[in-house]
Amino acid sequence: MRAWPVPPELEDAHEKFLGNLGFRQFLYAVAGFVMGSTLAALPLPVFWPLRVVGFFLGLCAGAVLALARPYGMNCDLFLYHFFKWWRSQKTYYLGKERGADI
Question: What confidence tens digit (pLDDT) does each residue in 10-26 have?
Answer: 554 546 777 777 888 88
Average pLDDT (72-85) is 85
Measured CA to CA, the distance from residue 59 to residue 9 in angstroms comes to 29
Q: What is the model's pLDDT at position 75?
A: 84
- CA distances from residue 88 to 48, 58, 81, 97 in whole angstroms, order as listed: 41, 29, 11, 12
- Does pTM top 0.85 for this prediction? no
Measured CA to CA, the distance from residue 85 to residue 64 in angstroms comes to 20
DSSP classification of residue 94: T
